[in-house]
Amino acid sequence: MPKDIALARKRLTDRKAELNDLRTISEESRAAVTLDQQSVGRLSRMDALQMQAMAQAQERQRAAELQRIETALARLKSEPDEYGYCDECGEEIPDKRLEIDPAATRCVTCAE
């Protein structure tokens, strides 16, 4: 069953735009924490540092997902007939899996 390449491209570009929007929104959270002891107590500074670390971890996850999306978009452009098939076993990746993760390169069995 041939995959709908246009739909896959739209899903990928929509998710890419969403991730880029989240990057912009979280930029302030990832910025360096100023430790002004006059205006912020010790626990508040620790909370701020923890929130910064969590925001930075989320950014690393977004960057990894954006890389997967870029790879999938490049694959769609260069090898559209290969999209939707597992890189390991060659079996078709179910539509539901691609709907959830359009950048998936492995079927459920091989991904486990």
16-63 confidence digits (pLDDT tens): 999 999 988 887 777 776 655 555 556 677 787 888 888 889 999 999
Q: Which two tokens stand for residue 53?
A: 């670390």
Asked whether residue 111 is domain-assigned, the answer is no
Residue 67 has pLDDT above 60, yes or no: yes
Looking at 1-112, list the stretches that DSSP marks H as alpha helix, in order from N- to C-terminal side: 5-25, 27-30, 42-78, 95-100, 108-111
Q: What is the pLDDT of residues 68-94, one digit of tens each?
A: 999 999 989 988 888 889 999 999 999
Asked whether residue 86 is domain-assigned, the answer is no
Asked whether residue 37 is domain-assigned, the answer is yes
Asked whether residue 26 is domain-assigned, the answer is yes
Asked whether residue 112 is domain-assigned, the answer is no
Asked whether residue 57 is domain-assigned, the answer is yes
Q: Could you tell me the residue range of the domain that residue 29 belongs to?
A: 5-79
What is the model's pLDDT at position 44? 75
What is the model's pLDDT at position 73? 94
Q: Number of folded domains in the chain?
A: 1
Which residues fall within 8 angstroms of residue 41, CB to CB, at 6 or more apart? Answer: none
In this prediction the pTM is: 0.75
